[in-house]
Structures are given as C-alpha cells and as structure tokens.
Amino acid sequence: MVLIMFIELIMWFIILFIVTILILKVCHSYNRPQKFPPGPKGLPLIGNILDIIRLVNETKFYADAWCRLAEKYGPVVGIRLGFDEPMIIVSGKPAITEMLNRAEFDGRPNGFLFRYRTGGTRQGILFTDTNVWQNQRRFALKTLKQYGFGKNSMEEMLKHDAITLTNVVLELTRRGTIKTISSVVSAAVLSSLWFLIDGTKFDVGTEDPNLAEAINILQSLTSNSSVPGGILNYFPFLRHLFPNLTGFSVFAERQKRINNFFADVITKHKRHGIDDQCTNFIDAYLKEIEAQKESNSGYTFFNETQLLFVIKDLFAAGVDTTNNTIGFVIAFLVVHQDVQAKVYDEISRVVGKDVYPSLNDKDRLPYLRAVLAEVSRLANVGPTSIPHRAIVDTDLLGYEIKRNYTLLANFKSVHMSKEHWGDPEVFRPERFIDENGKFITDSWLMPFGLGRRKCLGETLAKNTVFLFMASLLQRIRFTLPSDHPKPSLRGIEGFVVTPPVMDIVALQR
C-alpha cells in the first residue's frame, strides 16, 4: 500500500513538473525580450503560426509574406513558430549584406526535418556548420575543381549537353506540343555534374532509370516543402499522431528511396575498386576515408554516411535551381515574344546559325545576358537563403540575436526594391544594359547569396544557363498553343519556386 502511494506521488510530481515546464514555455514564448526584433505579437504556444498562415494565404508565397512583415516592422523582424527557436526575417540589401557576411550567423538550424533528411543528425554540406561544414565544403570544392568544376575546361561537356538538349527538344517538336520539357532539361542540367560526381556520362534520354527516378523524387521533395520547414519542424511530435495528415509518411518514404539510390551508387564504386588516379568525386572521397583511417588521427569528418549526404546535397543544389531558372526563362520568353525575337536577332547576328554558341560569346551577347539576369531577378527561384543559425549571442542592427536563433535572408525584398529598381514589377532586360550596349552587373541581384555560405556552384550554374539558352534560342522559337491561357509568371511555391506548368510549342527556326 505504501509502495502504491509512493508511485502515485511520483506520478503526480512528474505531471506537475511537465505542466510547470509547459506554463513556463508558454510564458517565455509569449513575452518578447526588450531588444527582441519587432514583429507580430502572436499567441501562446503556437506563436505566429496563424499570422504566417494568413499572410501566405493572402500573398501565396512565403517570401511575399516576409516582404509584408518588413514593410510593417522594418528590415529585422522577429517571429516565433511553435516550439522551435525564434526566426528572424532579414530584409533589404544593407541588413542582408551585414547578416550574410558575419561569421556568427554562418550556422544552420537544427530543425527536425533538416536532421531527418540526413539520417537523424546534421550531415553533408547544406545543413551542417562549424568544422563539419568547413571540412566537407573545402574537400568538395578542392576535389571537384580538379575535375573542372566551375572552370572553362568544362565548356566542351556543357556544349555537348546543350546541343543534345536542343536536338531532343527539336525531336519532341515533331510530335506536337511539349509537355515534358522540365524532366528533359533536368537530365541535361545534371549530366555534366553527374560526370564529376560519379564518373559516368550520359546524354538526355539515356540516363539510368534509377537516376531519372532520383531526379523526380528530388523535385517532388522540393516542390512539396518550404524553407521554414513546415509544421513538423515546429511540432515534430505530430508525426506520431498524424503521419499522413502532416505529410510525414510521404516525406519519409521519399527520403528513404533517394538515400537508397545514393547508397547503391557508393556501393557500386566500392565494388569496382578505386584507382590511384581518381577520376570522380566519389572515388576521391572513398580514398580520403581510407587515408584518414590509416593516419590514425582519431575522430574524422570523413565516412561513408557523410559521403552519401554530401553527394545528395551536391545533386540537389546542382539540379533544382538551374533547371527551374531555365524553365522560367522559357516561360518569360513565351509570354514576351518581342524579347525572344530580340535575343534571336542578337544570336543570329553575332554567332550565326552554322556554329553553336560558346562561353567566349558571353561579352558578345549582352542582351541575352540581360534577359537571363532580369528573369533571375523577377522569378526569384531561391527567394530566401537557406536558413542560417546564430552560433553565439550577438546583435543585428541593434536587436538582440540569441544563440540558436534562426535567420532568413529575404532576397526577394532586394530584387523587388522599388527604391533601387524603380519599376521592379516590370520585365525590362534593358536595366542591365549600359549606354554603350554592354551588359552591366548589379550588386542588388543576389540569386546565389552572399558571404561564406554563398552557393558553391554559381559559376557552373551561370555557364549552364547561358549555353543552354543560347543554343536553344539559336534554333528554336518557343510559343504557347493558340488556345493556351497566359501562364502566371509568379511560379509555384515550394522550397524553391518552380516555373508555371504549361504546354509549349517549339518551332524550329
């Protein structure tokens, strides 16, 4: 009897302790510290979730919701989302430039979904920080550059892929309206990068079916997620109660499939053995793993699990944004036929029809480059940075930023600044052409980010988009079927913004 009473007392003590913790959590989340950035008040426990849902429902895009908050509260806005750490939305060029160039904001958040995609712990490049990120990024850049990554030596491969893509699109035109151009472009974009990673080269349409499936899974994951992470990041326990309603079941199944694909690729390389002269990233990484084992240096950041998630990150970063940018360029030119005609006239006059464009033609095709820059500004494929994390207690523009706060750079606020661009809603490539007819860069265009965590594939992405679009537009005119409604050039919300779904008529010139 005494034992039962003692157990009941312990149980009541535990319940009281949990309730006390919840009450303290609610009070803490509801009350804003004195120097906490301004923002909507929110509600106990759930914070600003309902505020954000309302804004996204009104604007249709998270980035537009962040712009609304910036208009009301200023360049640094603080919000709370469920049980997660506060999120700081940083808008405007001065604030974003300061944030992204300060090392104390180079961390990555530790949200549930960010961990889950890499096996439950933060691994790889995209969502790691401190020594793990530095070691993986340094090795990836050094190794990939040895094989031509970001160098003009890759031009022949990119030109081959551009020509192949153009021929495939021309073949599709003979069958009528094109409905699958996104998947075709994705394979072409990945071709050269996959050669650096895996050492195998394929042409569009000849890729391994498992690789094609991995591309489709990746695109599905990014289109069905958001940068803030969604409800499971704020209340991860809900996956146990509502696995289907929260989308966890589908998310987990897709992550498992794409992880299995990369695991099989690594196994294939191990089975074939590694030559002394490595010719691809996976073999070089496996060789580094063995070298560090032999050195007996203790803890190492290099292992097969890390390798899996590094190539997964390279795969994701190398395909989605480039593929979507090309899709948006086609969409804008389909709507703006006059601009498409000007691009074609420039290519015909400068390059002609007998040879394909090359990277040496960049300075000779300023209008094409201006169109690509203007599409990049308006499409906002990556409207915000990947979330950052404060790794120490610090401040930003006078506001207190505690360790582990999440920070998000709102690039769309810069790309759509009326103060700088004058008419930001207007598609006007001429804003990137000077009085002498030359292309001019503008520091207010930052689609690849800034600072140490800037996209490492910027050069490859720019070269790919330039060569692909120059080759396509040299030989093809893109238009809509006569009865097709005008597509919305705002695109479709997701982790990255995807081009509008539309049928395309491609006419050989």
| CB 202 within 8 Å of CB 157 | no
Distance CA 398, CA 388 (A): 19
| CB 132 within 8 Å of CB 118 | no
The DSSP-derived string for 110-139 is --HHHHHTTTTS--SSTT--HHHHHHHHHH
Distance CA 52, CA 281 (A): 41
3-state secondary structure 398-433: CEEECCCCEEEEEHHHHHCCHHHHCCCCCCCHHHHE
Of 194, 193, 205, 196, nearest in space to 164 by CA: 205
Other CB atoms within a 10 A radius of the CB of residue 345 amount to: 11
The answer to whether 455 is a known ligand-binding residue is yes
Main-chain dihedrals φ then ψ at residue 379, nearest 5 degrees:
-70, -35
| CB 42 within 8 Å of CB 30 | yes
Distance CA 139, CA 124 (A): 12
Burial of 346 (0-12, 13-18, 19+ CB in 10 A): buried
| CB 471 within 8 Å of CB 162 | yes
Other CB atoms within a 10 A radius of the CB of residue 203 amount to: 16
Distance CA 250, CA 86 (A): 27
∠ CA(82), CA(88), CA(93), 5° rounding? 155
Q: Packing angle between helix 49-59 and helix 62-73, nearest 10 degrees?
A: 110
**Sequence ranges of the binding site:** 455
**Sequence ranges of the binding site for heme:** 455
